[in-house]
Amino acid sequence: MRDYRITHFFQRTLPLAAALVMTGCLGPRAYDVTSKPAWWGEMRLNEVVELNQDALVNGGELVKSARKFTRTGYEAQRTYGVNVTVEMFRSNPQGYWADLYLLPKGTMFRCVKLERWFSEDGALYRVSGEILSGDHKGQIVFIIPYGDPYQKGSLELGPSPLVRPVEIAQPAADQGNAQPARGGRSGGAGNPPRPANSIPEPQPPAPDNE
């Protein structure tokens, strides 16, 4: 009887332990590289950017269209299992989930944080932008740029970005040869364009976050 109880104990606890280990290994991992200028690529800490078009914020992330995954049955899947566009949301703003809302074109953000984000779904850069105006002023949204988070300096806004840098006009005396300055930047050239599909398959991130 005692041997049976020991065997039964391990049969029940080992799968649970394995699941916990796997969850810890495969869970999302974020590496804060805000204070490392080499990782910012085309963007800069405290740079001001603005929306090129109306966009949605879904679960804190700035997106062109949104989808809600639910696990409460067929009706919920039928209701939320489609991509919600800006036009759909605008026509029925009360018809969707609570953490989905719209930001209008021209909304400005200050870039306050940069993370290298790794999960079982892939790897990406994630910029935290503080909303500077409107009903959601002061809130933080995640801006997802292009680039390879395994490679320093690869971050870029991409070919059709949701946001663009705010250009600040130079004083009249300097307009002869000066180029427009970008909001919040201290200077520096961007990197050559990278293909949108250039991100490699997920692999263990490099330990060097310098």
Does the global pTM surpass 0.85?
A: no
User: Is 125 a domain residue?
Assistant: yes
- What would the pLDDT profile of 35-52 be if each residue is shown by its tens digit? 999 999 999 999 999 999
User: Is 93 a domain residue?
Assistant: no
User: Is 194 a domain residue?
Assistant: no
Q: Which two tokens stand for residue 191?
A: 């990197």
User: Is 96 a domain residue?
Assistant: no
Q: In whole angstroms, what is the distance from residue 187 CA to residue 203 CA?
A: 32
- What would the pLDDT profile of 80-100 be if each residue is shown by its tens digit? 777 899 999 999 999 888 889
User: Is 140 a domain residue?
Assistant: yes
Phi, psi (5° rounding) for residue 169? -65, 140
Q: In whole angstroms, what is the distance from residue 181 CA to residue 141 CA?
A: 24
pLDDT reported for residue 191: 43
For residue 21, the SS3 value is: helix
How many domains, in total, are found in the chain? 1
CA distances from 127 to 61, 171, 172 (A): 10, 30, 33
- What would the pLDDT profile of 96-155 be if each residue is shown by its tens digit? 888 899 999 999 999 999 999 999 889 999 999 999 989 999 999 999 999 999 999 999
Tell me the residue range of the domain where 120 lies: 27-53+105-182
Please say whether the beta carbons of 155 and 43 come within 8 A. yes
User: Is 76 a domain residue?
Assistant: no
User: Is 113 a domain residue?
Assistant: yes
User: Is 58 a domain residue?
Assistant: no
